[in-house]
Amino acid sequence: MTHSIDTLINHTADIDLKNIAEKVKLQQRITDQEGLQLFEKASLSFVGFLANYIREWKHGDTTYFNRNFHIEPTNVCVFSCKFCSYSKLYANKEEGWELSIDQMLDIVKSYDGKPITEVHIVGGVHPKMNMDYFIELMQKIKAHRPSLHVKAFTAVELDYMFRKAKLTAEQGMAKLHEAGLDSLPGGGAEIFAPEIREQIAPDKVDAIGWLRIHEIAHNLGMHTNATMLYGNIERYEHRIDHMSRLRNLQDKTGGFNTFIPLKFRNHDNEMSNVPESTVTEDMRLYAIARIYLDNFPHLKAYWPMLGRENAQLSLSFGVNDIDGTIDDSTKIYSMAGSEEQNPAMSTEELVTLIKQVRRKPIERDTLYNVVTDYSTIDFSNLPAEDKLN
Ligand code: V47
Ligand code: SF4
């Protein structure tokens, strides 16, 4: 591996790119300006090589997935993000859904006896689903299945919930954590730069508020993820600004597990006139994120959004996690035009997908503890119950 990175360095004529490759070899951090140079000047194969080099020294061939399901409590939302194909205004209630606590608990119960490790709960920001509602939900889930890891609520939902309850973010987060909230998903980050955020997500929590909520969660010992919605009207400098703010907070707290770039999908929303990014741009972004975010352990390709084959491809561009079985329980991407209209994969399918590109499939829990190493398991010999989602 050292030999081939030396070959890359020797064959790179551009002095900026040569310096970046040297830094990667020496495991040094690249600057914001160098991140920008990668977006502006580097070929797909150049960033791909460096990202794969980092991925392999950090993780070898290991590729993580988990067994999870989603609950989307509602698609009614007080906000009106321009890219959202999912939310329905409170006034148009007939088009929306609202799940009661019992309905959500029934979803949890439907997984009884199945080896699921995580429930992911995210939805619209409903004016009536308040802090008490979600505290009761957390408590009931934990009472029913204490070992199930609850990863729930974006910083956008939390900010609204805390303000309505007239609690500080510190107080609100402590209450939810005590009720059973284990970690936070990465949604709602979109693009932090105000000049873009104000155009695509004008009315929800701003960058400072989003980062503050994650910092408070980290200070309570919780882990969180971070996303970036890319490929619409932002420019390269906004992507670097976004990742720079995340890298700075990670230096301070170390609480982020995973960075998840989310490709903008343009079906049936107010930005349908904006073309979607190409697969080449998607892979370049994954690779540059892997190179730039040196303090993020994991980089995830969310397969329901990217599609199965592109998720496979991303495993050569720095990605080491492809999320979970999901079990057809999320609508946010199918409504935005993803080719995955019914996102669900059995463990066997996920394992096969990873093995097809010669990587090592490892089932993880939310905190990246190894649940099962599937690299040597032959599915044809497994009892039927072990093949379940
Ligand atoms: O914040 C909404 C995005 C996010 C569109 O933490 C869109 O493990 C593209 O954050 N095109 C919510 N993206 C989903 C999310 C997530 C998903 C999977 C795993 C995790 C995790 C987090 O979905 C929103 C927004 O950025 N989104 N509409 C769209 N048209
Ligand atoms: Fe609401 Fe989230 Fe859609 Fe924005 S992206 S409108 S906050 S559901």
Q: 151-166: b or e for each residue (b if 16 or more CB lie within 10 Å)?
A: bbbbbbbbbbbbeeee
What ligand has the least distance to the C-alpha of 269? Answer: 1
- The Å distance, Cα 138 to ligand 1 centre, comes to 22
DSSP assignment of 329-374: ---TTTTTT-S-SS----HHHHHHHHHHTT-EEEEE-TT--EEEE-
How do strand 360-364 and strand 370-373 relate by DSSP bridges?
antiparallel
pLDDT score for 340? 63
Please give the Cα distance from 276 to 273 (Å, whole number).
Answer: 9
Could you tell me the fold of the domain covering 62-387?
TIM Barrel (3.20.20)
What ligand has the least distance to the C-alpha of 85? Answer: 1
What ligand has the least distance to the C-alpha of 80? Answer: 2
Domain edges within the chain: 2-59, 62-387
pLDDT score for 253? 98
User: In sequence order, what E strands does the chain have?
Assistant: 62-66, 68-71, 118-121, 149-152, 183-184, 223-230, 256-263, 298-299, 321-324, 360-364, 370-373
Ligand 2, pocket-test mutation among 72, 74, 81, most atoms within 8 A of CB: 81
Ligand 1 pocket at CB < 6 A: 83-85, 122, 154, 185-188, 190, 225, 227, 229, 260, 262, 264-265, 269, 302, 323, 332, 336
Residues 6+ positions from 349 with CB-CB distance below 8 Å: none
What is the pTM assigned to this prediction?
Answer: 0.94
Q: Residue whose CA is closest, atom 2 of ligand 1?
A: 84
pLDDT score for 376? 85
pLDDT score for 388? 46
Q: Which residue stretches of the chain have pLDDT < 50?
A: 388-389
Please give the Cα distance from 99 to 358 (Å, whole number).
Answer: 41
Residues 6+ positions from 380 with CB-CB distance below 8 Å: none
By the 8 A CB rule, do 167 and 134 touch? no
| Other residues' Cβ atoms within 10 Å of the Cβ of residue 3 | 6
Q: What would the two tokens of residue 108 be?
A: 């949890």
DSSP conformation class of 26:
T
pLDDT score for 337? 64
Pick the atom of ligand 1 nearest to 86's CA: 28
Q: Residue whose CA is closest, atom 8 of ligand 2?
A: 124
Ligand 1, pocket-test mutation among 205, 214, 229, most atoms within 8 A of CB: 229
Pick the atom of ligand 1 nearest to 185's CA: 6
